[in-house]
Amino acid sequence: MVRPAKPHRHPIRRVLQPVIQSERKALGASALLGTAAVAFELARPWPLALAVDYAIARRPLAGLGPQSLLLFAGAAVVLFTLIAESGELGSTLLAERAAERVGARLRQDVYDRATTLSLRWHDRMRSGELVSRLTTDVGRLLDALVAVTAQLLPDVVRLLLVLILLTVVSPGLALLALAVVPLLAVFAVRQRRRVRIAQQRARAEAGLLAASATDLFRNVRAVQAFSANARPAQVFHQRNAALLDVNVRAVTTEARWSPVANVVLAIGTGLVLVVGGREVLDGRLSTGDLLVVTAYLSALYSPVRGLSRLSGLLAKSNASAARIQDVLACTEEIAEDEDARPAPPLVSGLWFADVRFGYQLSRPVLDGFDLTVAAGQTCCVLGPSGAGKSTVLHLLLRLYDVDAGGIMLDGVDLRSIRKQSLRQAVAFVPQDPWLFDTTIAQNIALGAAGADRAQVLAAGRAALVDEFAHQLPGGYDSLVGEAAAQLSGGQRRRIALARAVVSKAPLMLLDEPTASLDPASAAAVITAIERCAAGRTVLMVTHDPLLAAIADQVVTLDPHRPAGVNLTTLPGAASTIGRR
């Protein structure tokens, strides 16, 4: 079922809302602590005014002489700074730690969602792109969360307090200082839009580079083996150059902002200095008050600068949040009925009834496909390459759903069976053995939840894993490497077969289990298959006539044969198979 994710107007809020519930207290405390620190930060210019206007001017205050006033002013500066910095440290730590926990939850959610999405979705989404969303995009979103928590409220409060204090000290100078703010606001709004667009392009390009790098690293053997053909290097080079281009544009767009803002703000400071200096000369303002006003000017401009930086950061994170939301909101999965039932015991058999399926709807691989396999029988599917043999097995596992018709186990449609129960009822040996980067034993144990060491070793023995496992230094505990790169094709296949052997599932699906084995090993594997096929229903795909010979029923999937035509290649076989 294809239901594309709806784009959302506020992706950051949409993505973060469900994962920050339990962090609300920590985030709130961080914002409050940061705001409290602002009060002490803003008190810092006053000891300076006290020193200039009273101590240095030798005017006693509250019975204290110049020396005492200087000592008092010095101590106050240190104390205010100590409290303000402690508050800021506490605020940052609370926000950063909460953001890390939110990030871990978000990564888990993206992983959980992505792994349940249909294989049609995964066929389109490249794994490198997905990893880039899981790591870089989540990281960017966390930057925004920390900034909004530890910066937004303190900056707004700082701005308001400074405005009030400036107005109290000198309303005229306050107005003058504010004159440049509208100009800055106009620049900020335009800048935000440009940064957002530049960042969207940069993130999309980074995703493409990650996808292409993952593909190239996964196939590094092909890259080296075909080094005469510079195509892979060209692909990477082009993607890298494209990313460089959009990144340079994005950083240029961002970098332009800071000097523009600083110059506009310097104009305000210059105006205040000229007009305020005149007032001091005319005796209408004290030197201390002018110092306080200029100190507050930078305190006024710092939140203005901070808020505009925050708006750039939000624009960046918006692009990342939208990419995460794409995955989280996607509903393209193999659906499960609410009243889905456990898999039946497979006592009567399985059948495909008038099945139509294509990876793309416009290009059916199977059309009008019928097949019946009685329980306890072994059925072998033959056919030319690309005819759809592996597809038949994938449909039985519900890795994909049929487009029309139905597949039944004991008369129950697969779509009415709980997915997990169905997959536990099937032991599958895929054509590409799908091994994880872990030990041989753990790879075999994947075949049956709760399989103990003795069962794993017995399955290994039956599938001829013993032959090579005992020659490795770690035996069954040897790591197989990424994509089992440290094993040969035949060895990988034997581990995949051992997985099916350890499973007690009533239905066994084997996709070319003897491919890449030497004749002696193939014969031994066939014996192992015969042994573990006893009492189970088996559907296998093979080009190996020796393996086909153990089947009770052999059918050929012929892409040129009209649907509904029976084809049996072994006497006594009772199957129906066809393909339009």
The torsion angle over the Cα atoms of residues 108, 110, 112 and 115, rounded to 10 degrees, is -140
Q: Which is nearer to ligand ATP, 191 or 390 (CB)?
A: 390
Count interface residues toward ligand ATP (CB under 6 A): 12
Site map 101..140 versus ligand ATP, x via CB under 6 A: ----------------------x-----------------
Check: CB of residue 271 under 8 Å from CB of residue 231: no
Residue 241: count other Cβ atoms within 10 Å of its Cβ. 10
Residues 359, 488, 489, 518: which binds ligand ATP (CB under 6 A)? 359
How far is Cα 517 from Cα 269, in angstroms, rounded to an integer?
A: 81
Minimum CB separation from ligand ATP for residue 401, in Å?
Answer: 14
Instruction: Tell me: does residue 542 bind ligand ATP (CB under 6 A).
Output: no
Task: Tell which positions 27-46 bind ligand ATP, by CB under 6 A.
Answer: none
CA-wise closest residue to 288 among 5, 55, 6, 522: 55
Q: Please, which residues have CB within 8 angstroms of residue 19's CB and are 6 or more apart in sequence?
A: 102, 105, 106, 109
* Cβ nearer to ligand ATP, comparing 44 with 126: 126
The C-alpha atoms of residue 558 and residue 100 are separated, in whole angstroms, by 55
Residue that the structure tokens 């240190």 belong to: 78
Q: Which of residues 371-400 bind ligand ATP (CB under 6 A)?
A: 383, 385-391
- Residue 392 CB, nearest distance to ligand ATP (Å)? 7
Kindly tell me which of 386 and 474 has the beta carbon lying closer to ligand ATP. Answer: 386
What HEC string does 214-282 produce?
HHHHHCHHHHHHCCCCCHHHHHHHHHHHHHHHHHHHHHHHHHHHHHHHHHHHHHHHHHHHHHHHHHHHC
Nearer to ligand ATP, 317 or 390 (CB): 390
CB of 324 to ligand ATP, least distance (A): 25
For the CB of residue 398, give the shortest distance to ligand ATP in the complex, in Å: 15
Name which of 118 and 170 has its Cβ closer to ligand ATP.
Answer: 118
Residue 204's contacts (CB-CB under 8 Å, 6 or more residues apart) are none
Q: Which residue's structure tokens are 């296949």?
A: 493
Nearest approach, Cβ of 370 to ligand ATP (angstroms)?
A: 17
For residue 561, the minimal CB distance to ligand ATP (Å) is 14
- 523, 546 contact by CB (below 8 A): yes
Q: What is the distance between the alpha carbons of residues 351 and 137, in angstroms, rounded to a whole number?
A: 45
Q: CB of residue 32 vs ligand ATP: minimum separation in angstroms?
A: 53
Instruction: Give the burial string for 334-370 (b: 16+ CB within 10 Å, else e).
Output: bebeeebeebbebeebbbbbbbbbeeeeeebbbbbbb
Q: Two tokens at 518?
A: 């030497």
Interface positions, 272-301, toward ligand ATP (CB under 6 A): none
**Cα separations in angstroms, 252 against 195, 255, 258:** 10, 5, 11
Q: Which position among 138, 290, 365, 517 is part of the footprint of ligand ATP (CB under 6 A)?
A: 365
Q: Which of residues 398-457 bind ligand ATP (CB under 6 A)?
A: 431
CA 18 to chain centre: 16
Residue whose CB is less far from ligand ATP, 9 or 363? 363
Residue 387 C-beta: closest distance to ligand ATP, Å: 4
Shortest Å distance, C-beta 436 to ligand ATP: 20
- For ligand ATP, the closer of residues 413 and 432 by Cβ is 432
Nearer Cβ to ligand ATP, position 203 or 394? 394
Residue numbers at the binding site for ligand ATP (CB under 6 A): 123, 359, 365, 383, 385-391, 431
